[in-house]
């Protein structure tokens, strides 16, 4: 009976030691994996570039429609929208030649341009909706329908660009995981909490 108890204690002691060793080993592997920088791959960056290009190609004709609807009064707004799109197109070309450039300062600028394009498209949606209400109250049904169509299209593109910007922000944030959060640009820290304002 005494030998059985002794053997049981040895087995339990061995199991406990094995658990401690395995737990310590697993913790060391996890800690090492978390401290390594994992830069986005070329394939991940190229996917975001393709998504961005598709979103921009949908957004560009809407800027033209918005320019017609706003007339000369919206010239500054339209110029800014086109400047943001131009910046994104320039960045796409630059990154296609050298995808790892995304991991530098231009990557954050690219994210910022996506953020601006998303907001501008959301403003287009909000402004067009308000314009449609005004035209409807004035009895201009055709003009109101045209503005409502523009508002819906801009809202759709804003959602698409927002989704792409989340992907880009996630990649950019991942490449910088070894940098303490207090050193990250403030807009990147809140990239997932952005709410379009009208």
What angle separates helix 42-70 from helix 141-175, to the nearest 10 degrees?
150
| pLDDT tens digits along 129-161 | 999 999 999 999 999 999 999 999 999 999 999
Q: pTM of the full predicted structure? A: 0.69
Per-residue model confidence as pLDDT tens for the chain (198 residues): 555 555 555 544 545 554 444 444 444 444 444 445 678 889 999 999 999 999 999 999 999 999 998 888 888 889 999 999 999 999 999 999 999 988 888 888 898 999 999 999 999 999 999 999 999 999 999 999 999 999 999 999 999 999 999 988 888 777 655 444 444 444 444 444 343 333
| pLDDT tens digits along 100-121 | 988 888 888 898 999 999 999 9
């Amino acid at each position: 009976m005494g030998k059985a108890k002794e053997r049981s204690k040895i087995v339990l002691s061995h199991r406990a030691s094995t658990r401690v060793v395995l737990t310590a080993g697993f913790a060391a592997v996890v800690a090492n994996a978390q401290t390594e920088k994992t830069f986005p791959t070329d394939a991940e960056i190229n996917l975001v570039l393709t998504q961005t290009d598709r979103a921009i190609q949908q957004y560009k004709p809407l800027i033209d429609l918005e320019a017609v609807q706003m007339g000369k009064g919206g010239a500054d707004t339209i110029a800014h929208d086109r400047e943001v799109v131009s910046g994104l197109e320039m960045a796409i070309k630059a990154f296609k030649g050298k995808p790892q450039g995304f991991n530098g300062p231009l990557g954050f600028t690219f994210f910022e341009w996506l953020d601006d394009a998303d907001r501008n498209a959301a403003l287009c949606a909000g402004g067009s909706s308000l314009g449609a209400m005004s035209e409807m109250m004035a009895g201009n049904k055709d003009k109101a329908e045209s503005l409502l169509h523009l508002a819906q299209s801009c809202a759709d593109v804003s959602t698409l660009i927002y989704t792409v910007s989340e992907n880009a922000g996630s990649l950019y944030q991942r490449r910088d995981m070894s940098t303490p959060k207090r050193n990250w640009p403030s807009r990147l820290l809140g990239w997932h909490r952005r709410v379009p304002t009208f």
